[in-house]
Amino acid sequence: MQVEGKKGRIIFHIDMNSFYASVEMAYDPSLKGKPVAIAGNAAERKGIIVTCSYEARKYGVKTTMQIWQARRLCPDLIVRTPNFDRYRESSRAMFDVLRDYTPLVEPVSIDEGYMDITDYTNGANPIELAHSLQSRLMEELMLPSSIGIAPNKFLAKMASNMKKPMGITVLRKRELDRTLWPLPIGEMHGVGEKTADKLHSIGIQTIHDLILTEEGKLKELLGINGERLKKRAAGIDDRPVDPESIHEFKSIGNSSTLPQDSSNPRELDKLIKKLSESVSRRMHRKNVLASKLSVMIRYGNRQTYTRTSKLDNPVSSAGDIEEQAKRIFYKHWTGDPIRLLGITGLDLMEKEEAVKQLNLFSYEEDAKEEPIWNVMDKLNGKFGKHTVRRGLKGKTEEDHSSGTSFNKDFLQDRDK
């Protein structure tokens, strides 16, 4: 059974169910069938829930909820501190299984990815292949998954969200009028809460309403993203499944030569601030964030050094870039007069696609700042999309290499 005609593509979207909690259950089978949550500061009542098992969700336990609130809903809740090495290892094993079916596997985050099996079915029914894959992930790794099957990436992603846990859903273009279009607009992949509010403001409540809205009106409201969303809702998405996308090396940088060689910290700080603002503006125009930051130092004797820092969480704001650039600069500056400075954001990712590395310290700090984000959203909604924007601040880990890396570093050493 072909999903979308003989000449159509057959795309799978694999979404692991409650991944962190599932990995913990695989590691400790005694947790199976019990309400489990992963949280920062698990020993403290104020710790924040990062994710939880479906058994916990039945009690109303949710992500970002404080532990004391979750335990009030579910007194028997078992709370575990995250083990990211364990999660990365399970992720690599999961993607290895996917590549047994097709070489066309595109990781999206630690627990999800796309597969193009169009030319790799060997005559098998795609739904049977999906069942085989789902069974292998469960039997070999003890990890549950949901799989969406469709003729393109957007529809496959939507399909995988329709049945959880352990669901397999086929989404055909000819059936979108009854399977996709009746859904609330907020459930559409690519439509966040802020975008949904904007669409609601012009009377768009369902995906079908989006289809019926004039393209010019959407473009006026959301820019080019409005046009893109309408095409996706109509089932149009030509993006290929690209395994090499994890090796893409993207950067935005700027450098400047000082009028005279200088070792004056005040003058150097002023230049770092100016460069950070320039890089930030360019990143905002492209709507991207940087996973790494690089600082180039050229001394008066023309010796040049570049030092790069990998960020736990991506950044784009001028303040965050300046802060990290200064940290890198002052760690490596010898004190000798400087001729040129440069700052570059590396391993860029689209803001909408960025998957924040779960650092429990920063996760809880972000949860505390939720009121700030809400105010920013309201200002942007009233005065324009980019009136107020802010990067994501995180700790850093020094990296002296200048090579490329997957922006989700759990797959950095997949080929080792």
User: Which residues line the annotated binding site for Mg(2+)?
Assistant: 15, 111
Nearby residues of 179 by Cβ (< 8 Å), 6 or more positions away: 171, 172
Q: Find out whether 48 and 40 touch, Cβ atoms under 8 Å.
A: yes
Q: Give the catalytic positions in this structure.
A: 112
Identity of residue 106: E
Rounded CA-CA distance 353/347 in Å is: 13
Integer-rounded Cα Rg, in Å, for the chain is: 23
The beta-carbon contacts of 165-168 under 8 Å, at least 24 apart in sequence, are 165/17, 165/18, 165/54, 166/17, 166/134, 166/138, 168/127, 168/130, 168/131, 168/134
Q: Find out whether 106 and 11 touch, Cβ atoms under 8 Å.
A: no
Q: Which among 26, 41, 30 is positioned nearest to 80, based on CA atoms?
A: 41
Nearby residues of 205 by Cβ (< 8 Å), 6 or more positions away: 184, 185
Task: Strand 49-52: give its sheet, edge to edge.
Answer: 49-52, 36-39, 78-80
